[in-house]
Structure 1
Amino acid sequence: MKKRQVGNSDLYVSELGLGCMSLGTDQKKAQELIETALDEGINYFDTADLYDFGENEQIVGQALKHVRDKVIIATKAGNRWSEDKNGWRWDPSKRYIKEAVKNSLTRLGTDYIDLYQLHGGTIEDPIGETIEAFEELKADGLIRYYGISSIRPNVIQEYAKKSSIVSVMMQYSILDRRPEEQAIPLLQENNISVVTRGPLAKGLLSNRMLEKASEPGFLNYSRKELNKILPLLREKFADSRTMPEIALQFNLAQPSVSSVVAGASKAEQIRENAKAVRTNPLSEDELSLIQSITKAKKYEEHRF
């Protein structure tokens, strides 16, 4: 599988990454899924301390222990579980991030994290303090690089201006083209990579399509619109591409995208996504067709 550079770092990640949130808490099953990903050439694994109260990090770390020096592990911090585990609160403080990274390192069973990400962010955060925490962790060798996971253009702009982030993880798909307006151009201009999540739009862009559709629809698409758009996409590409190919290659057509992160609960899904990523890139005509069928929506809030 092809690899792409993350920003100006020395991290080279597979064009398809494995989103680990959907692995579950069965170590044997998770190991099988991760081994399938490795067999397909995936070297980028994305988790977070929030998933399963940290158990996900533990499972991922154990499953990748035998190939630690060959993979890129990304995790996240900033969401703090309450003591009774009934909810969490946002805490981007320097003190908490430096505490959280130590816990993540212990659960992952590693001495360093390749890509440490802020798991969210608002414009009201103490952004300077947060950046200071990540820079100190980098200087201490506990993390190699850092980024943020955010869909808010105004937050992304602040980190692009004030920090040395190498990546921004954001939701992006054929059915959610909002990042095209402000976020993606800004990041491309600053040589900061995009790591996309949700490329299959909760299964709507998989081969199962409308089986995954629900009321009232998806983002700014009504169920009625989805009933029209999705079959039309499949019809237009029926002789050449599967729905996962269209979806994943659409993301990879953005030069600033380094990896498309997709979750999976079955090995078959990983193999299908890997096959889709290995196909030829979308042509200009194919891209234009997709863009003509779908909406170029803008973020209504958090603009700069």
Structure 2
Amino acid sequence: MKKRTLGQSDLKVSEVGLGCMSLGTEKQRALSILDEALELGINYLDTADLYDFGLNEEIVGEAIKSRRKDVILATKAGNRWEEGKPGWFWDPSKAYIKEAVKRSLKRLQTDYIDLYQLHGGTIEDNIDETIEAFEELKEEGVIRYYGISSIRPNVIKEYVKKSSIITVMMQYSLLDRRPEEWLPILEENGISVIARGPLAKGLLTEKPVSEANANIKSNGYLSYSYEELVKTKADIEKTAPDLTATETAMKYILAQPAVGAVIPGASKLEQLRENVEAASARPLTEQEIKALRFYTKRDVYTAHRE
């Protein structure tokens, strides 16, 4: 699989990575998906301490312990919880991040993390202190690089201005084009986008929209009504009829120069294989990209702007 360099770093990641959140808690099943992903050429695994309250990191750690050097490992921090208690709260303090990383390292059975990400963030945070925590962890060799997972414009602007982040993770798909507002400034600053949710909860796969869940049928998806989804999906599919819906969806995101990787989740081996196959499909033409932009909405993230 083709690789891309994340931001201004030496991390070369497979164009399609694996978002580990949807692996589930059935250990053997999750391990079989992780093993297959690595066999198929995926080298970028993205987890978080919050996923299944640490269990996801433990499973990922077990899967990679004998081949750690072949994997670009990403995890996240900032959501704090107490063992045995439900729920969590936001804590981006330096003290907590430096404590959280130790627990993540232990669960992941490694002594370093390739990409450590802030799992959220608000403009009210003490951003300078959070950056200090990540910079110190870099100096200590505990993490190689850091990034943020956020779509809040005011937060992104602050980190672009003040930090040495190499990535911003955002939900980005043909049905959620809000990140496109930020692609030029991120590219200009040598920061890569990690695109999560590229298949929009399965709406952009081969599965017909008519099989969507009851919530989507009643309320639509983001700014799309259910009726709009049916029409838009048909328009997307006729744009590049020789490609599958999954291929078109993934290739559109990968056509953006600022994108470092797409990280669809997979809870089944078939989904994983389809996602990997999509990476080897032909690129979209300029004309097809223009048509896809014409058929879909370019919304912007309206909250958290100043």
Both proteins in one fold, TM over 0.5:
yes
Q: What letter corresponds to residue 273 of structure 1 in structure 2?
A: N
Q: Tell me whether 1:303 sits opposite 2:302 in the alignment.
A: no
Q: Which string of whole-angstrom CA distances, capped at 9 and with x for unpartnered residues, describes residues 13-52 of structure 1?
A: 0000101011112221111101111111000000000001
Secondary structure at the residue paired with 1:263? coil
Say which of 241, 253, 264 aligns to 2:255. 253
Q: How does 1:52-91 map to 2 (within 5 A)?
A: 52-91=52-91
Asked whether the equivalents of residues 79 and 90 of structure 2 are also in contact (C-alpha less than 8 Å), the reply is yes
- Provide the rounded CA distance (Å) in 1 between the counterparts of 2:190 and 2:235: 35
Say which of 234, 239, 242 aligns to 2:237. 234
Aligned to 1:137: 137
Q: Which string of whole-angstrom CA distances, capped at 9 and with x for unpartnered residues, describes residues 163-199 of structure 1?
A: 1101010010000001112x22211110101100000
Q: What letter corresponds to residue 175 of structure 1 in structure 2?
A: L
Say which of 202, 223, 227 aligns to 1:224. 227
Asked whether the equivalents of residues 82 and 89 of structure 1 are also in contact (C-alpha less than 8 Å), the reply is no
Q: What letter corresponds to residue 285 of structure 2 in structure 1?
A: S
Query: What is the deviation of 1:85?
Result: 2.7
Asked whether the equivalents of residues 203 and 209 of structure 1 are also in contact (C-alpha less than 8 Å), the reply is no
Query: What is the deviation of 1:232?
Result: 2.3
Asked whether the equivalents of residues 239 and 292 of structure 2 are also in contact (C-alpha less than 8 Å), the reply is no
- Provide the rounded CA distance (Å) in 2 between the counterparts of 1:301 and 1:175: 19
Asked whether the equivalents of residues 117 and 147 of structure 2 are also in contact (C-alpha less than 8 Å), the reply is yes
Query: What is the deviation of 1:303?
Result: 2.1
Q: Tell me whether 1:9 sits opposite 2:9 in the alignment.
A: yes
Query: What is the deviation of 1:83?
Result: 4.7
- Provide the rounded CA distance (Å) in 2 between the counterparts of 1:81 and 1:173: 31
Q: How does 1:1-304 map to 2 (within 5 A)?
A: 1-181=1-181, 183-210=182-209, 211-212=211-212, 214=216, 215-238=218-241, 240-303=242-305
Secondary structure at the residue paired with 2:115? strand
- Provide the rounded CA distance (Å) in 2 between the counterparts of 1:148 and 1:12: 18
- Provide the rounded CA distance (Å) in 2 between the counterparts of 1:173 and 1:236: 16
Q: What letter corresponds to residue 104 of structure 1 in structure 2?
A: S
Gap regions ≥5 residues in structure 2? none
Q: What letter corresponds to residue 69 of structure 1 in structure 2?
A: K
Query: What is the deviation of 1:282?
Result: 1.0
The two structures have a TM-score, normalised by structure 2, of 0.97
- Provide the rounded CA distance (Å) in 1 between the counterparts of 2:133 and 2:172: 28
- Provide the rounded CA distance (Å) in 2 between the counterparts of 1:280 and 1:234: 15
Identity rate of aligned residues, in percent?
62
- Provide the rounded CA distance (Å) in 2 between the counterparts of 1:80 and 1:203: 30
Query: What is the deviation of 1:302?
Result: 1.7
- Provide the rounded CA distance (Å) in 2 between the counterparts of 1:236 and 1:162: 41
Secondary structure at the residue paired with 2:184? helix
Moved more, 188-197 or 20-29: 20-29
Moved more, 223-232 or 125-134: 223-232
- Provide the rounded CA distance (Å) in 1 between the counterparts of 2:133 and 2:233: 44
- Provide the rounded CA distance (Å) in 2 between the counterparts of 1:61 and 1:235: 42
Query: What is the deviation of 1:209?
Result: 3.5
Secondary structure at the residue paired with 1:148? strand
Query: What is the deviation of 1:103?
Result: 0.3
- Provide the rounded CA distance (Å) in 1 between the counterparts of 2:188 and 2:245: 30
Query: What is the deviation of 1:67?
Result: 1.1
Query: What is the deviation of 1:235?
Result: 3.0
- Provide the rounded CA distance (Å) in 1 between the counterparts of 2:235 and 2:136: 51
- Provide the rounded CA distance (Å) in 2 between the counterparts of 1:155 and 1:188: 17
How many residues were matched structurally? 302
- Provide the rounded CA distance (Å) in 2 between the counterparts of 1:12 and 1:133: 24
- Provide the rounded CA distance (Å) in 2 between the counterparts of 1:27 and 1:259: 26
Asked whether the equivalents of residues 79 and 89 of structure 2 are also in contact (C-alpha less than 8 Å), the reply is yes
Asked whether the equivalents of residues 245 and 277 of structure 1 are also in contact (C-alpha less than 8 Å), the reply is yes
Asked whether the equivalents of residues 17 and 262 of structure 2 are also in contact (C-alpha less than 8 Å), the reply is yes
Query: What is the deviation of 1:212?
Result: 2.3
Moved more, 195-204 or 208-217: 208-217
* RMSD of equivalent CA atoms: 1.0
Moved more, 134-143 or 221-230: 221-230
